[in-house]
Chain A
Amino acid sequence: MDTLAKLDILAEAARYDVACTSSGATRAPKAGKLGVASPAGCCHSFTPDGRCVTLLKVLMSNACTYDCAYCVNRRQASCARATFAPRELAELTVDFYKRNYIEGLFLSSGVLGTPDATIERMVECLRILRDELRFNGYVHAKVIPGTSPELVDALGRQADRLSVNLELPSATSLARLCPEKSKPQVIAPMQQIARLRTEEERTLLESTRPRRRQLPSPELEGRQLLGNASRLTLRPHSRVSARRRTFAPAGQSTQLIVGATPEDDNHILQLSQALYQRFDLKRVFFSAYMPMVEDAALPSRETPVPLRREHRLYQADWLMRYYAFSPDELATPSEPWLDLDVDPKLAWALRHIDRFPVEVMDASLEELLRVPGVGPVGARRILTARRHGPIGFDDLARLKVTLKRARHFLSCNGRRADGYPLDAELIREKVISDARQSAYNRTRRMAEGQLTLF
């Protein structure tokens, strides 16, 4: 089988992995080596469904010995099978990279016999890529639960980012749908990666004279032309830059399938928060379940893809990382589902309308971040602009604040926007009606046929 035919099979088999970022690593050009890694990453194409293509995302092999119920590559599936040779895949990566098609490689695989045998082959591919083909670009590698610690370590020395897929949001669901995987098997490599990164950070901090790392104030950040996403998160930042690390410098991430099992949004957000805090994850990716496989334990094949739920979960995840929201503020234990028609921040603001309007001239960064329509960049721009003098709604428009939503919740120099009432119920009606009329909500309502909470 030639590589073109293999690519046909193995690219399609890998498309259910949603993570496709090339960010978080910093690697300068080196003499005799091909490629660099930049902190912001770069998207080189977009698929018809709008997803970014930044890495060559393929499986090493789709010949899997596991039998996970939801997976198109499961042992019992009757699909074409193929396996890349390590050198073949390494050469393909370099050929694509030189043409500016990709930033690097996203390497995952079905389980070829055992997790260790599979990861050994992946490590060999990365060794050829890094040592023989002198590739200096980005690599994301997937760790298979059950892999031995030595191989996780070897993989992390070659790759920029590692990820272990949690797959399902609870141990019960995992046991039901993935009989060969268990919670301890999934958690062990995540713990190991977090521990090795922490140890390396400690060693690096001990070996060098501690430098006072001065982060610019939000007022200075607001002067920037574009926001630096990683700097704008409100989570604690590592004291060691990715450039100095040798083990998984871009950290680790994970993926959860939503919609295949009954866990609610509050459960998923609590889980994400715990993962961020416990294992210092860079991202938790959510993948709306696509009913491709007929199985009694899964929703029927006619079930619509829960695209809006996935979208709202991503928004909620963003609010936790960039706006310091807690999971319970977004989906409470008593109302555990996110509203599908209204974004989670707007839904929170409508539930706490007594906290508004926020005065632009004296609100803190945290207060501004809670205003719908004001993002991390917009909030910092407001802080910068108000140092110069009073700002009004026209000024906010020039600062690229989304006034369509924000003007309901802001006052400038004690004045609210003309024609926008103070009455909480009127605001609520107008905002919800605007949100419901969006093309996105109308289309998804037709596809999903779901009711909203409001």
Chain B
Amino acid sequence: MACEPSLEGVLAGVGITYLAHARAGQIRLASSRDLQPALGEGVVSLPAPSEEVVAFARRVLLGFARHVRRDCRRRRKGVCPPTCTVSCLQRLMLASASDDPTMPETVHQYLRLGFAVGPRVHDMIADPRVAAYDSLARHVSGECEHTRQFVRFSHMADGSFAASYTPGANTIPLTADHFAQRMLTERFVLVDPRHRVAAFHEAGERACQLVTLDAPLARNLAERHDLADDEHYVRAMWQRFYQGTSLPGRDRAQRGYDLRTKWMPQRLWAGLTELGPERASMTTPARYAGEHDLPATP
């Protein structure tokens, strides 16, 4: 079954296979973007996402939640605690944001297992189907953390902030509210040109507006050059700070392995201000021109 590689697409696919009384082993969910049928397989395509598909996906999601939350010891009076870190639905959202081509089938197998065994699925963490699903969710969770770490905003001429970031999974919808809370007083846009998603934030709002973009608009937003006057100077200060913090005698040659690359994947380096080229000339903003200078010695 070819479906859209998104939470809604996979949930709708699982719902249809369930209603068709097809056993989990009889059907394989695959992304409609890179479907390659094996010998002997027939292909059924789900309709493109529409209001009906989303409504149907929501029904499947609520049904799944009902099944796996039954008797959950974390629930109080039938309600899940807001800080539940085991959160079955949060894990589902993470796994479905993966770019891995096996995502639809992995999520499909897990959901079917959850429908079959109910809350026991939480304890089956060594089961290959659960382990594969957790592995996807863990990978996306790591990508979300990279997004929170390595997005770099620029101050634009209109006073707002803008950033372009290309994650290894569709993480912008999952992390946009983190940036909204962090930058509550600022107006900003965060663009992911690969997944063609942008998060727009207005000053004072607690959440972002998520927008799906077409290719030209995603490109335009990602390649804005109308920077504010102080931007180059602040970038230069950050570069200088970064260069000054490293200690001698502890680098790769001294360790036998590259610790920096382990924590900061090289695919992301191109977007990092601290590793970008240094600018020869720039204007010094008045607030950094040494007006507040005090004697250097006591």
Contact = CB atoms under 8 A, between A and B. Distances in A.
- Same complex for A and B? Answer yes
Interface in B248-298: 248-260, 262-264, 272-274, 284, 287-290, 292-298
B16 interface: no
A223 B122 contact: yes
Interface in A70-108: 81-83, 85, 87-88, 91-92, 95-96, 98-101
Contact of A290 (B155, B186, B249, B290): B249
Contact of A305 (B94, B250, B257, B289): B250
Interface stretch (A9-17, A174-182, A334-342, A366-374): A9-17
Interface string A50-78: 11110011100101010000000000000
12 contacts: A4-B233, A11-B241, A15-B244, A31-B204, A46-B264, A49-B260, A88-B292, A225-B141, A290-B248, A385-B124, A388-B124, A388-B126
A49 B240 contact: no
A441 B255 CA distance: 8
A112 interface: yes
Interface string B125-145: 111100100100110010001
Given A1-B293, A49-B246, A307 B240 contact: no
B86 interface: yes
Contacts of A288: 250
Interface stretch (B6-14, B19-27, B30-38, B146-154): B146-154
B18 interface: no
B240 A11 contact: yes
B293 A42 contact: no
Nearest to A32: B185
Nearest to A58: B241
A47 B248 CA distance: 11
Residue among A4, A35, A96, A438 having the largest count of chain B Cβ atoms under 10 Å: A4
A98 B153 contact: yes
Interface of B: 73-74, 85-86, 91, 94, 120, 122-128, 131, 134, 137-138, 141, 145, 148-155, 161, 163, 179, 181-186, 204, 206, 230, 233-234, 236-238, 240-242, 244-260, 262-264, 272-274, 284, 287-290, 292-298
Contacts of B240: 4, 7-8, 11
A77 B250 CA distance: 23
Given A113-B298, A305-B254, A3 B290 contact: yes
Residue among A31, A43, A98 having the largest count of chain B Cβ atoms under 10 Å: A98
Contacts of A14: 245
A50 B184 contact: no
B191 to A, nearest CB: 14
B185 A134 contact: yes
A88 B206 contact: no
A34 B241 CA distance: 22
A313 to B, nearest CB: 15
A124 to B, nearest CB: 12
A290 B296 contact: no
A113 B295 CA distance: 12
Contacts of B128: 398
Contacts of A45: 149-150, 242, 264, 272, 274
Contacts of A296: none
Contact of A222 (B125, B161, B262, B272): B125
A449 interface: no
Interface of A: 1-4, 7-8, 11-12, 14-16, 28-36, 42-53, 56-58, 61, 63, 65, 81-83, 85, 87-88, 91-92, 95-96, 98-101, 112-113, 117, 134, 137, 216, 220, 222-226, 228, 288, 290, 304-305, 307, 381, 384-385, 387-388, 391, 395-396, 398-399, 438-444, 447
A100 B292 contact: no
Given A83-B296, A92-B237, A98 B183 contact: yes
A73 to B, nearest CB: 12
Given A7-B241, A81-B297, A307-B254, A385 B246 contact: no
Given A48-B260, A99-B234, A29 B126 contact: no
B290 A1 contact: yes
A58 B244 CA distance: 10
Contact of A65 (B91, B206, B289, B298): B298
A2 B284 contact: yes
Given A99-B153, A134-B185, 4 more contacts: A98-B183, A113-B298, A223-B122, A387-B123
Contact of B263 (A50, A113, A391): A50
A122 to B, nearest CB: 13
A62 to B, nearest CB: 9
B249 A304 contact: yes
A99 B238 contact: yes
Residue among A99, A220, A441 having the largest count of chain B Cβ atoms under 10 Å: A99
B85 A224 contact: yes
Contacts of B73: 220
A441 B257 CA distance: 11
A219 B127 CA distance: 16
Given A11-B241, A15-B246, A220-B74, A29 B296 contact: no
Contacts of B290: 1-3
A46 B263 contact: yes
B17 to A, nearest CB: 25
B138 A98 contact: no
B161 A29 contact: no
Contacts of B262: 50
B249 A50 contact: no
A49 B247 contact: yes
A11 B197 CA distance: 37
Given A99-B152, A225-B141, A46 B182 contact: no
Contact of A384 (B91, B123, B289, B293): B123
A7 B244 contact: yes
Nearest to B287: A91
